[in-house]
């Protein structure tokens, strides 16, 4: 079955990476997971990527630009994984439900997020909240595509609320991942499923 959004388009939404750009982004993520963002210099990233500092700045910019690009790359990669995992689910309501559950659990268990919250909690939380506009925008585009495709399979027209619903879901998932101890307490897959069926599904299927 075709995915409701092109995974390749999602992965290359900001322009296709060449091998060197990709190597720099992945080197940055690896270095951040070792010592955190604050304790990583541009020289550290350049050394891990096997490039000199001049090449690093010419290709990616300074550390903030590299960090933003690296996080955006990881978001696209993770969304592609989620899209593949739910893409074979035939029933649109079940795909909607499993998509929400799998996204929350995947992000909560994401090795990079978990590691960065240990080694550099304050800095990573800043990047995932105050600096998260582009990340949330990409996630919203992905969810909008999923919602549109699943509503079409149910024979429902676009009710003009697809973007609103997608932004609401993305903001909810963002909060559940970064602030898991606040209500609503959705700690298990069963609790997540019940929440989707009770509260999100009626909005998703609204005429």
CA distances to 97, 185, 195 from 190, rounded to whole Å, are: 11, 11, 9
End-to-end CA distance of the chain: 26
Token look-up 């009626």 returns 202
pLDDT along the chain (207 residues), means of 10: 44 62 96 96 95 93 94 95 93 97 96 95 95 94 94 89 93 95 94 98 93
pLDDT at position 1 is 37
pTM reported for the whole predicted model? 0.87
- C-alpha R_g of the chain: 18
Position 7 scores a pLDDT of 44
In this prediction, residue 2 carries a pLDDT of: 40
In whole angstroms, give the CA distance from residue 147 to residue 143: 6
Q: Strand, coil or helix: what is 207?
A: coil
User: Residue 6's pLDDT is what?
Assistant: 46
pLDDT of 16 reads 52
């Amino acid at each position: 079955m075709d995915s409701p959004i092109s995974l390749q388009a999602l992965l290359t939404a900001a322009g296709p990476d060449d091998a060197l750009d990709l190597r720099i982004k992945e080197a940055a993520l690896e270095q951040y997971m070792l010592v955190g963002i604050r304790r990583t210099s541009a020289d550290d990233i350049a050394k891990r990527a096997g490039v000199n500092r001049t090449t690093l700045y010419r290709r990616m910019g300074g550390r903030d630009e590299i960090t933003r690009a690296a996080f955006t790359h990881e978001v696209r990669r993770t969304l592609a994984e989620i899209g593949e995992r739910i893409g074979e689910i035939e029933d649109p309501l079940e795909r909607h439900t499993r998509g929400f559950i799998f996204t929350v659990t995947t992000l909560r268990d994401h090795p990079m997020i978990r590691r960065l919250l240990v080694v550099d909690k304050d800095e990573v939380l800043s990047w995932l909240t105050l600096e998260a506009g582009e990340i949330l925008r990409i996630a919203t585009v992905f969810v909008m595509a999923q919602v549109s495709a699943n509503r079409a399979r149910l024979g429902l027209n676009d009710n003009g609320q697809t973007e609103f619903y997608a932004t609401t879901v993305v903001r909810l998932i963002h909060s559940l991942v970064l602030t898991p101890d606040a209500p609503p307490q959705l700690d298990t897959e069963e609790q997540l499923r019940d929440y989707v069926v009770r509260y999100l599904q009626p909005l998703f299927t609204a005429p």
